[in-house]
Amino acid sequence: MGKGKGGAGCTTASLELAYAATRRRRPDGQPRRAAVIDLDPQGNATDVLEPNTRRIGIKDALAPNDPLALRDVLVPTMWPGVLVAAGGRFLANREADLTARGMATLRQARLSGELSDLVDDVIVDLPKDVGKLSATGLLGIEHLYITARPTIWGAQGAEEMRYTAGRIAQKGNPELQIAGYIIAAYEETSDAERVHTEMRDRFGDLVQDPPVPRRARVPEALESYHTPCREYGGDLTDVADVYQSLYDRLLDKGEESR
**pLDDT per position in the chain (258 positions), as tens?**
444 444 456 899 999 999 999 999 999 999 999 999 999 999 999 999 999 999 999 999 999 999 999 999 999 999 999 999 999 988 988 888 999 999 999 999 999 999 999 999 999 999 988 789 999 999 999 999 999 999 999 999 999 999 999 999 999 999 999 999 999 999 999 999 999 999 999 999 999 999 999 999 999 999 999 999 999 999 999 999 999 999 999 999 876 665
CATH number of residue 97's parent domain: 3.40.50.300
What pLDDT was estimated at residue 94?
86
Range of the domain at 23: 3-257
What pLDDT was estimated at residue 8?
53
What pLDDT was estimated at residue 4?
47
Distance, in Å, from the CA atom of 174 to the CA atom of 256, rounded to the nearest integer, reads 21
Of 145, 191, 167, which Cα lies nearest the Cα of 8?
Answer: 145
- Residue 218's identity, in one-letter code, is V
Q: Are 184 and 9 in contact (CB under 8 A)?
A: yes
Q: Where are the alpha helices (DSSP H) in the chain?
A: 10-22, 44-49, 58-61, 90-96, 100-103, 105-112, 132-140, 152-171, 190-203, 218-219, 229-232, 237-257
Distance, in Å, from the CA atom of 129 to the CA atom of 147, rounded to the nearest integer, reads 14
Q: What angle do CA 27, 29, 30 make, to 5 degrees?
A: 110
What pTM, to 2 d.p., does this model score?
0.94
Is 55 exposed, middle or buried, given 0-12, 13-18 or 19+ CB atoms closer than 10 A? exposed
- Residue 89's identity, in one-letter code, is R
Q: What angle do CA 47, 213, 87 make, to 5 degrees?
A: 20
What pLDDT was estimated at residue 257?
61
Q: How many domains does the chain fold into?
A: 1
Q: How many alpha carbons fall within 13 Å on the CB side of residue 50?
A: 10
Q: How many alpha carbons fall within 13 Å on the CB side of residue 97?
A: 12
What pLDDT was estimated at residue 10?
87
Distance, in Å, from the CA atom of 48 to the CA atom of 225, rounded to the nearest integer, reads 8
Going from the C-alpha of 227 to that of each of 77, 230, 241, the distances in angstroms are 12, 8, 15
Q: What are phi and psi of 193, to 5 degrees?
A: -65, -40
